[in-house]
Amino acid sequence: MDILFLGTSAAVPSKQRSTSCVAVREGADVVLLDCGEGSQRQIMASPVSFMKIRAILISHMHGDHIFGLPGLLQTMGLSERREPLTVYGPAGLGAFVRATMSLTEDEEAEAPYEIDVVELEGGETFEVRGFSISCFRTEHGMRSLGYVLREPDRPGKLDHRKALELGIRDGPDMARLKAGEAVGGVRPEDVLGPSVPGLSVAYTGDTKPCGSTVENVRGVDVLIHEATYMDSESRNAAEHNHSTAAQAARVAGEAGVRHLILTHISHRYEDREAVALEARAIFPETYAADDMEAYQVTRGGISVRDVRQA
């Protein structure tokens, strides 16, 4: 699984950082988390194809999380996308998409692909191209949602020698067993080891630290948590329903996640490492994301690379 940070700034973009947008990629399939202003330009400068976006998950209706959505939807149409696209988010999202698209498109021109908007309350679970996705309520002074994306569990290791002893021949029959199908009276559980849990990633959007985040992200491999402020600005964080880096770290520790990645960081903090260090003092497995960084997540850990295209 790859997690590509396309925009990591807080509400106001800077010359170096765009507003909130994260792409989660498994194989060629992409799920987009939020779509702030400038997102499609960031996508074009990255290895991600916007034609491979299977769903867009919006956390809340603040501009730095949605103002890039109409432009991206329009560009997909101009690029002759035909595959339907579903956009998920809180109440009000449907009205926003209808209004912006109807006022900026030719009234007689039909979009060449279907755009389905699904408004969520929190607590729903749905499937998107191999991901099981659940949403939960967060606390941001308005209707706001977080999301957890989970890959399906993978079959365990095939005991090749045992399968041969049970009369299974090399070739298609071995593959059928590995895929979970019984062959000649031999059941998959007879020759397969324990299943391997799929990877999981959670995204909070904007929120102050809250119990619903802890409960819903418990045990995930990666928690992407906002950290608009450092702890010296904790009063501002509370006033505006945001989190500090230290607060995000405490949430990660309480929830027992494997890794924490901080995003939505105010551009007053030019030194991202200082933000990360504040959190690492509490939760050592912490990273502070920057625009155009890709985090490859495996069972063995995380590797980070810059994917900026020339």
Active site residues: 64
Where would I find the beta strands (DSSP E) of the chain? 2-7, 21-26, 29-33, 53-57, 85-89, 115-119, 125-128, 131-137, 145-150, 200-203, 222-226, 259-263, 286-288, 293-298, 301-306
- Asked whether the beta carbons of 227 and 252 are under 8 A apart, the reply is no
Distance (Å, whole) CA 94 – CA 74:
16
Return the exposure string of 215-226: e unless at least 16 CB atoms fall within 10 Å of the residue's CB, then b: ebbeebbbbbbb
Nearest to 249 by CA among 220, 276, 274, 289: 276
**Encoded tokens for 227:** 């950290």
**Encoded tokens for 267:** 């551009």
Residue the block writes with tokens 């059928």: 176
